[in-house]
Chains A and B, each alone.
Chain A
Amino acid sequence: MQDFRYLYDVSTLSLNHEACIGCGMCEIVCPHGVFKVENKRAGIIDKNGCMECGACAKNCPPEAISVNPGVGCAAYIIQTWIIGKNGNSRGIAKCC
């Protein structure tokens, strides 16, 4: 996926090195190779490759990873602007 790069310096991904136990789960579940475990600690080696899918944070046993997960879809985001993320009386934002 190195051929496909999206906007840089936008990802909300962050990793608390102190809390990391080096289990390597993030390295397994990330579809973009954002993490690498070295010396029994995970590190972010390609933050700009992150698409904020949230798989790493969901599967981090010590909850050392935080990311604001979501769907990178223009149509969906427009709806959240209009009716809010959780929706109002007009219903919730529908994804594709």
Chain B
Amino acid sequence: MINNMKDDCCSANNEKGSYGKVSHLKPFASTPLMQNKKEEAACCGLPPGPECSKFARPGYELCGFVEDFIDTAAGPVPRIGTKLSAADHVMSVLARFGIGRDSYGIAPGIYCTGTPDADSPVLVTANYKLTFDALRKELASLSAWILVLDTRGINVWCAAGKSLFSTEEVIKRVKVSGLDKIVSHRELILPQLSATGVSAIDVKKGSGFKVIWGPIRANDIKNFLNAGKEADKSMRRVTFTVLERLILVPVELSFLVKPTFLILLGIFLLSGIGTDIFSLKDAWGRGLMVAFAYAAGIFAGTVFVPVVLPWIPGKAFSIKGAVTGIIAAFFVVMTLKNVANTWELTALFLCTTAVSSYLGMNFTGSTPYTSPSGVEKEMRKAIPVQALTGFASIVLWIGAAFIK
């Protein structure tokens, strides 16, 4: 899927490509044939696009971000642009929504930007395209080598946590890329968050390259380099601003699409149970009420919790989720108070709260500050309560159909 997107990704690196000066693609030049209106009308489709780049090679796809190739002792190295294209932005948005996110990787190896020489710094990064884009857009007017690791298309911190952005991968990629022939120094700048997976001491032992811990965020890279490769305190601390939280919401929601189909099926089936054994009318009418309560729970746990995270009382996320859930549940009850009885309203209230508490707890996986020991501790307490609340909600809901 990604491999077909010429502008975004390549299926292999272009080391076998020729290199030299930039080949400016010429727009299609009209042939005399095309100038003849009669002939043109006879032709199908739009006029053909520009001719192939001179860097194109059979079996490879030229990445949109590659401007040209420069010659090095280790072979041709792609020089990348530092401006993101419209297609880059579109693909980023899609990835944020979970579309194509699992295959959004670029070929690992050595890239460069500007006019690097043997003394230029080497920046090491992950091969998730979103990560690569976040880095390269900060490199305008900078000359550097970029060593992209094969982290299976996963960002720096998560890949480090999964032992993909690892000591072994750094050593391997340094060797495979022939970095020692390209630069005369023996230093690698790694993003600080990769320290979870990389031992600086072992990289030095295994590759001869010294690891310098760079800043956490790519937008600090320039200041870091200008300060003589020194990071100040703010560059070394993770943040979790409202924007950083909000940007996670779409992908969190995308994870819910599949289970939601099953849950909705269950909701409509259970809602049809009553004195008539099964009523299609109730399945739909009462089912919609539960679906509404469920949706409110999703909103409260997956959108509301991240947005107001620092201001919700409680440290445990299951409690934060329950708090936003109760607020959303009140809204559900107020909306349906004229169409549902007390038993039903209680069931809906519990449903929204339980769903929100569970999803709020799930948000722990997306934050940069929750410890596994803490998450496990709160889960041991919260899951039984959530399950019991959910169960009570179902019993009340089915029971209400018989009381009616």
Contacts and interface: CB of A to CB of B under 8 A. Distances in A.
Interface of A: 1, 3-8, 10-12, 25, 28-33, 49-56, 58-59, 61, 68-78, 95-96
A71 B373 CA distance: 9
B237 interface: yes
A30 B231 CA distance: 13
Contact of A59 (B199, B239, B309, B376): B199
A57 B77 CA distance: 36
A4 B192 contact: no
Contact of A6 (B158, B374, B379): B374
Contact of B371 (A30, A31, A51, A61): A51
Contacts of A59: 195, 198-201
A13 B228 CA distance: 32
Contacts of B197: 58
A28 B236 contact: yes
A1 B364 contact: no
A11 B374 CA distance: 7
Nearest to A31: B238
Contact of B379 (A1, A4, A8, A77): A77
B377 A71 contact: no
B216 interface: yes
Nearest to B216: A31
A25 B379 contact: no
A11 B373 contact: yes
A61 B373 contact: no
B37 interface: no
Contacts of A77: 372, 375-376, 379
Most B C-beta atoms less than 10 A away, residue of A55, A61, A74: A74
B49 interface: no
A54 B193 CA distance: 10
Contact of A7 (B201, B216, B378): B378
Chain A facing B: main interface SS: loop
A80 B243 CA distance: 31
A4 B311 CA distance: 10
A75 B233 CA distance: 32
A11 B379 CA distance: 15
Given A10-B371, A12-B373, A31-B216, A75 B240 contact: no
Given A10-B371, A53-B161, A77-B376, A33 B237 contact: yes
B328 interface: no
B240 A70 contact: no
A32 B157 CA distance: 14
B374 A31 contact: no
B53 interface: no
A63 to B, nearest CB: 10
B367 interface: yes
B285 interface: no
A10 B377 contact: yes
Given A33-B233, A72-B370, A74-B365, 16 more contacts: A4-B309, A7-B374, A10-B371, A10-B373, A10-B377, A32-B369, A51-B369, A52-B372, A55-B193, A56-B195, A58-B195, A70-B372, A72-B364, A72-B365, A75-B362, A96-B366
Interface string B153-164: 000011011100
B365 to A, nearest CB: 3
Given A1-B369, A52-B371, A74-B364, A7 B196 contact: no
Interface in B233-247: 233, 236-240
